[in-house]
Amino acid sequence: MNDGRDPFLPGASSPIARLVEAFHRLPGIGPKSAQRLAYHILRAQEAEAQELADALVEVKRSIVFCAQCQNLTSRTPCEICTDASRDRHLICVVEEPLDVLAIERTNGFRGLYHVLHGVISPSDGVGPEDLKIAELLARLRDVETEVAEIIVATNPNLEGEATAMYLGRLLRPLGIRVTRLARGLPAGADLEYADDVTLGRALEFRQEVT
């Protein structure tokens, strides 16, 4: 029964308000967008809403971290790590799983990946221990590993550069070549939004991390 309160007002406890708040917590979703999404769900057929709910539950239940590269996958090791045609001497280190998809679209990289799940950002309270760096080191120290080069493909912004320099200092004593994507990427841009040609050239003309 309607108690006269606007279900979209802050603090409202109706199912609609809870749904709006749930959408609002998603990255990049503002209050207006959250309301539009909630209205869409309300107008949709029940089967469509149920399909969305089932997909959300299923992805949480079935998606895990790859034991080798830390990418998101439905099985571990993931499809890329188990692909015998990939160059196992080359690992591209990226910030997020979406960056793997961006690089794969270029069709210019046939090595393996390692996903950090973030970057070093002291202002946000994120340090090296919060990233998948320990997993990378363990992977490189494995006696069966034959990695000759690490490509650090973090975004060309302050946090990305700081992370690249940290990894360079950490990995160089292991005798592994550490390179950085070339400056074909605009400063401050996110890897996942780069066009295929720009990203491909950045990979091709990568530079040593100093």
pLDDT tens digits along 135-164: 999 999 886 778 999 999 999 888 999 999
Q: Which of 5, 27, 62 is the last residue of a domain?
A: 62
Which tens digits make up the pLDDT trace of 49-102?
999 999 999 989 999 999 999 999 999 999 999 999 999 999 999 999 999 999
What type of residue is 165?
M
Q: Residues 87, 52: one domain? A: no
C-beta atoms surrounding 28 within 10 Å: 5
DSSP-assigned letter for residue 197: H
Distance separating alpha carbons of residues 69 and 77, to the nearest angstrom? 8
Helices (H), 118-183: 133-141, 158-171
How many domains would you assign to the chain?
2
Q: Looking at residue 184, what is its pLDDT? A: 62
Residue 1 pLDDT grade (very low, low, confident, very high; cuts 50, 70, 90):
very low
Q: Residues 204, 110: one domain? A: yes
C-beta atoms surrounding 12 within 10 Å: 16
Q: Report the candidate in 102, 99, 103, 101 with the shortest Cα–Cα distance to residue 118.
A: 99
- Give the global pTM: 0.73
Q: How many helices (H) and strands (E) does the chain have?
A: 7, 7
What are the DSSP E strand ranges found in 11-106? Answer: 64-65, 72-73, 87-94
**Tell me, what CATH number does 57's domain have?**
1.10.8.420
- Domain span at residue 121 reads 81-208
Query: Is 10 inside any structural domain?
Result: no
Q: Residues 146, 112: one domain? A: yes
Distance separating alpha carbons of residues 193 and 201, to the nearest angstrom? 15
